[in-house]
Amino acid sequence: MLPGALSKGYPMPEAGKIRTQLASWKWKFFSFIGGVFLAKSVIYSMLAYNFHVYQWPKAILKTIDSWIKNFIWSGDIHTIRVGTIAWPTSCKSIEEGGLGLRSVSAINRAAMLKIGWCFVSLEIP
């Protein structure tokens, strides 16, 4: 592990908040598209600040992705159900035939690249 790199347990409180939020929503009260909208708006906004501060470990990002995927397809983060379309296809834009979702790993990588660009170009926000 690199000096200054985050350990696997460091961002777990934030991941716990996401898990609690997903588990608290009752699937029967909204449609499939409502579940997609909730994941896109609420969960991604919960992660936005932390992703612009540090890079999360890949194991936690994969876990959060699986929680979101399970929530969207089955309504429960613990119930694994095969979706109508593959998850990588779901993560494409609506124009490309996806659901407009983004992989949590891709969002974290993009935030880290933005910080790197700001440092290289000396544009400090």
Contacts from 1-10 at CB under 8 Å and sequence distance 24+? Answer: 5/55, 6/54, 6/55, 6/56, 6/57, 7/57, 8/57, 8/59, 8/60
Distance CA 56, CA 109 (A): 9
Q: Residue 55: which of 123, 121, 7, 118 has the closest Cα? A: 7
Average pLDDT over residues 103-114: 88
- Condensed to tens digits (0 to 9), the pLDDT of residues 19-55 reads 888 888 776 677 778 888 888 888 888 888 788 777 8
Within 10 A of 118 (CB to CB), how many other CB atoms are there?
12
Is pLDDT of 1 > 70?
Answer: no
pTM score of the predicted model: 0.77
Q: What confidence tier does 10 reach under pLDDT thresholds 50, 70, 90?
A: low
